[in-house]
Amino acid sequence: MLDIKLIRSDPELVKENMRKKFQEEKLHLVDEVLELDAAFRASKARGDELRQQRNAISKEIGKLMGQGKKDEAEKTKEKVQAIAGELMEMEKKEAEMTEEIRKRMLVIPNIIDPSVPIGRDDSENVELEKFGEPVVPQYEIPYHTDIMEKFSGIDLDSARKTSGNGFYYLMGDIARLHSAVLSYARDFMISKGFTYCIPPFMIRSDVVTGVMSFAEMENMMYKIEGEDLYLIGTSEHSMIGKFIDTILPEDKLPQTLTSYSPCFRKEVGAHGIEERGVYRVHQFEKQEMIVVCKPEDSMDWYHKMWNFTVELFRSMDIPVRTLECCSGDLADLKVKSVDIEAWSPRQKKYFEVGSCSNLGDAQARRLGIRIKGKEGNYFAHTLNNTVVTPPRMLIAFLENNLQADDSIKIPQPLQMYMGGMTEIR
């Protein structure tokens, strides 16, 4: 959510940002906010005048009563009652205007960083850098669920019976590999100085609307019927929510946390053929990282965070690349974002396995996350990044570590989490 002072002082900047994000249908919101804000401030000014009048009249009543002019005092009290009635009506309208302003402010997109490439959708994202040599072996790489089934590692049919499409059972060594990757990712991030955390897996609506846009919420979140609780789509939601309505001392920053959680997503919408199997599912597990920091430090952390993910994937012999998200592909709260994509030797292309985002002070404004500075309090900046997300990670891992004899190589960093195994047969 933007600072309303920015809309007052430079509405054209806010509108131009909407145009860069190809959201011309939202341009009217800026004018509506300005109109409502002007009416609200005029009402507040009128209210101050009325309160001054009420105070003056109250003093006059006191004098009249002291002079024994009771009848005159009673007539004057009618003026106070009239003012009180007008104030009550104004306060009601001010509350309504405040709510209308907030509703519009919540859907006005954050100001993107000047370095963000301008583009309409993800087809116009810009490749930044490749890490590792993408290899297409001489032997065939089967579809990922076919690889898992060879090792009796997945049961989709049973999951359809118990839960429906978009769910799965992982079994045996494949299930163990899944857990090994998460354990390695946890320890990898701890070695980078992050504090490990297991958060609540359900959050209230005020946290949901604090961390994401309404469109994202509608397409992603499962609501618990009859309760003000939602299942998290990623632990970032709980982790940023942890700081709701807090004032953090500057010397306690940055807050760097890495978290494990299951994640639950509706995944509303149609998806392509490559999203069958376990690429896009309703339930998965994830290791996440979040940072809460001073505004001047957020871009440094942004670059550190996505580099951690690259380093993790490369340590498991998986080639990756980074893509700068263009303006039209950025969610409304994001200032800047980069996707991390892993190489798929079967598809002979890269696919997304994580995303790193700098949200500026947008989430902090919504949730009331402030920093106690020497010259007063100010809003923090928040960032999030995927460390690793099985089962997408498993797809990349299996395809890049499948050997010609159908065994799966276990890279050295994972071997301790697999009981010393160097391969799966």
Per-residue pLDDT reduced to its tens digit, 271-329:
544 556 888 899 999 999 999 999 999 999 999 999 999 999 999 999 999 999 999 99
Quick one: CATH architecture of 4-105? Orthogonal Bundle (1.10)
> What tokens appear for 136 in the block?
């297409």
Quick one: CATH architecture of 122-424? 2-Layer Sandwich (3.30)
Q: Is the pTM of this model over 0.85?
A: yes
Query: Average pLDDT in the 395-424 region?
Result: 96
d(CA 401, CA 423): 9
* Phi, psi at 357, each rounded to 5°: -135, 140
Going from the C-alpha of 400 to that of each of 130, 135, 388, the distances in angstroms are 16, 8, 16
Per-residue pLDDT reduced to its tens digit, 205-236:
999 989 987 677 777 889 999 999 999 999 99
Domain ranges within the chain, ordered by starting residue: 4-105, 122-424
Query: Average pLDDT in the 47-51 region?
Result: 82
The 10 Å CB-count burial string (b at 16+, else e) for 117-133 is eebeeeeebeeeeebbe
Cβ atoms of 303 and 310 within 8 Å: the answer is: no
pLDDT band at 270 (very low <50, low <70, confident <90, very high): very low
Pick from 55-69, 388-402, 411-425: least confident:
55-69
pLDDT score, position 55: 78
Angle of helix 11-20 versus helix 27-66 axis, rounded to 10: 150
> What tokens appear for 150 in the block?
């060879």
d(CA 303, CA 341): 16
Per-residue pLDDT reduced to its tens digit, 57-116:
777 777 777 777 777 777 777 777 788 788 888 888 899 999 999 999 999 999 999 999
Going from the C-alpha of 80 to that of each of 52, 63, 64, the distances in angstroms are 11, 15, 14
pLDDT score, position 271: 53
d(CA 220, CA 212): 10
Per-residue pLDDT reduced to its tens digit, 314-370:
999 999 999 999 999 999 999 999 999 999 999 999 999 999 999 999 999 999 999
> What tokens appear for 86 in the block?
């007008």
